[in-house]
Structure 1
Amino acid sequence: MKLLPAALLSACCVTGAAHAQEYLPILQYHHVDASTPRSTSVSPEEFKQHMDYLKEAGYQVLDLATALQSIRSDQPLPDKAVAITFDDAYLNIYENGFPILKEHGFPFTVFINTGPIERGHRSFLTWSQMEEMQKSGGVFANHTVSHPYMLRLEEGETVDQWEQRIQQEVSDVESLLSSKLGSTPKMIAYPYGESNEVVRNLIRDQDMVGFGQQSGVVSKDSDFANLPRFPAAGPYAELSSLKVKLRAKPMPLNAIENGGDFANEQPVKMTLTLKEGRYRKYDLNCYVAGQGKASLNWVDDNVVVVEAERAFPVGRGRINCTMPDQSGRHYYWFSNVWIRTASEQRYVTD
């Protein structure tokens, strides 16, 4: 994992920080453009508003890989620590986002799919642009070669062949990052946020860190093969929404039982076990995508069963849970994503 020099790390983690925190909210962007699909885009004006707010409000924007290593080794982060990420290697990140990041002196990570880069696609970054961005805090990480649905079999493919293909999708990018840019942070963002235990074990075996697309805050208790991030584009681009996420804390959980990665024709449910402590647990609220509030059944003082009213449609569905802390200024946050498959999609569900 690429590390900052000790003096720089010390500066980034102490300067302007009156307190320390043991968790990290991570922002996720894709396009920085007003003409690209709204669901995955922020306009340059919105992105500047976000970055201006981080600066003005005293947030400490950290290098992602270094911050994660600090969390795993019990080293405190500065108060108001945050990291910035982008998925996909879109040219508009360089054209519209990078000048703003550079002006503010913010480090950032871009998860790149190398297929279109190697083909010279005009809407994607070039290696020379990435080298330029590296000099101003840019780090480039793995988003596979072809951005596939990683859990789907190709026509006529066996499970063994699928596993070999996925390993190749990951290893080819790692090799290119090392040869073209000099190093790899050994991090991957799963395309569409989809992974299963086979894929996560592959990532663990390679000593990599993996990211999904569920929302939440990273702490030492997180699964470092499937870390959460907060989307900050499209319907989540409003500054008021961003402020709530930046103040979020990790839900204090001892255990999660969610029935696995896949949903079926039955409504999903999960059992959450809170750590011992004083919480406003009866202010816990959970929301099911497309359905509204989930039902909550408290089994005892620390165990709650969260259940959707209806089955998810085919695709990805989620439940987001939040609970105010004692001060009322922050929310504990947890999200879980399930995949409901269709037979023609040929998902590997074991």
Structure 2
Amino acid sequence: MLIRLCLALFVVALMPVKVASAAVILQYHHVSETSPAVTSVSPAQFNEQMQYLAQQKFNVVPLAEVIAAIKQGKALPAKTVAITFDDGYRNIAENAAPILRKYGFPFTLFVAIEPIEKGFGEMMDWNQLQALADAGATIANHSWGHEHLIRRLPNENREQWLARIRDNLERTEAAIKQHTGQSVKTLAYPYGEYNTDLQQLLQQMGYIGVGQQSGAAGQYSDLTAIPRFPVAGAYANMETLKAKLNSLNMPVIAQTPTNPQLDLSDTQPVLSLKIVMDDIQKSQLTCFVHGQGKQLPIWVDADTFTIQAQKPLPAGRSRYNCTAPSKSQSGYYWFSQPWVRPLADGTWVQE
């Protein structure tokens, strides 16, 4: 009996460890008590969140490691997290970086160049960014002037617009390389806005695109629209953040439409998703429409459903979010589709 028990334990020890095919990417802007609440967490909140990651033994890795795994179709260890910051505010160097050093957590900082070059008071300068890079931080592309990249200039045609954006991103990447020695060719879309033309441009340029729509990243993620969970304001709540940290990559294998930018006439888009159902609790799959609350999906067949806003979406940015519990593990599969629509006259919401 003892010999059989020992043999069984030996066989179990040789079995491969089950790994998850998802990673949660966190997105921050400010870590400060004096910046706008809607884009901020306080230093105390940030420390609590990082302490939780450390105590719960989350696998905090550089964003590049998550991207490499998606590219190569490799699974990541369970509870994998990457930490990112957008814009390059000085309070990240002053308040967030010391906390991250304390826990030994890597992070990526997406920066726009114009605010640095113009010396805006709340932004880091190149010396601070170089110091962070020397200490192990990744500095990445957030466009030259934090522009709405999908918006064309007056009388600008598609080819002129794409050429302008290509130049914008290349100049930004060159400035980052000049000042920090880094060039990872990863763009965080300003405002989280992108469209299929911009995605195709990034693909041609050999860039990765990172959005602001919620969801876990993994093998089913588009490398030109990788999701992140924003952490700020109402989304900085520790209890809701815990659920997001344990979310899973929704296995979407077909989607219609794929373009987040809506036409003037398309105010209530019908989103169709085909998903791998093996581990999905189908009866509990639920969607939410921005500003309109919970909506149940309409199943077209065994693995395809649609969701549609019941009222017109507002001009500007909005989302459809869909979640479903796993059959085999704790946590929810999570998918978010961003939308951007112009005003009725074809112009954009001013920000």
Tell me if TM exceeds 0.5: yes
**1:18 CA drift (Å):** 6.2
Give the counterpart letter for 1:52 in structure 2. Answer: Q
Contact 2:107 2:137 in 1 (8 A): yes
Deviations 1:47-101 (A, max 9, x none): 1111010001100110111221123213332221100001101111101111101
Name stretches of at least 5 consecutive residues in structure 1 with no aligned partner: 1-16
Counterpart for residue 3 of structure 1 = none
Contact 2:63 2:107 in 1 (8 A): yes
SS at match of 1:345: coil
Q: CA separation of 1:276/1:320 partners in 2, compared to 1, >3 Å: closer, same or farther?
A: closer
Name stretches of at least 5 consecutive residues in structure 2 with no aligned partner: 1-15
Give the counterpart letter for 1:312 in structure 2. Answer: L
Mapped to 1, the partners of 2:308 and 2:301 lie a distance apart of: 16
Q: CA separation of 1:206/1:289 partners in 2, compared to 1, >3 Å: closer, same or farther?
A: same
List aligned pairs for 1:185-334, cutoff 5 A. Answer: 185-258=184-257, 260-263=259-262, 264=265, 266-327=267-328, 329-334=330-335
Query: How many pairs does the alignment contain?
Result: 331
Contact 1:153 1:346 in 2 (8 A): no
Counterpart for residue 336 of structure 1 = 337
Give the counterpart letter for 1:267 in structure 2. Answer: Q
SS at match of 1:78: coil
**1:325 CA drift (Å):** 0.7
> Greater CA radius of gyration, 1 or 2?
2
Counterpart for residue 158 of structure 1 = 157
Contact 2:289 2:320 in 1 (8 A): yes
Q: Which moved more, 1:26-35 or 1:336-345?
A: 336-345
List aligned pairs for 1:72-111, cutoff 5 A. Answer: 72-111=71-110
Percent of paired sites with the same residue: 38
Q: CA separation of 1:154/1:53 partners in 2, compared to 1, >3 Å: closer, same or farther?
A: same
**1:132 CA drift (Å):** 1.4
Mapped to 2, the partners of 1:286 and 1:276 lie a distance apart of: 16
Mapped to 2, the partners of 1:140 and 1:97 lie a distance apart of: 15
Give the counterpart letter for 2:149 in structure 1. Answer: M
Deviations 1:301-331 (A, max 9, x none): 2111112111101111111100011146200
Contact 2:108 2:137 in 1 (8 A): yes
Mapped to 2, the partners of 1:107 and 1:135 lie a distance apart of: 12
**1:21 CA drift (Å):** 2.2
| Runs ≥4 residues deviating over 6 A | none
SS at match of 1:157: coil
Give the counterpart letter for 2:253 in structure 1. Answer: N
Give the counterpart letter for 1:140 in structure 2. Answer: I
RMSD: 1.8
**1:37 CA drift (Å):** 1.2
**1:211 CA drift (Å):** 0.9
Mapped to 2, the partners of 1:252 and 1:239 lie a distance apart of: 26
Contact 1:325 1:332 in 2 (8 A): yes
**1:19 CA drift (Å):** 4.5
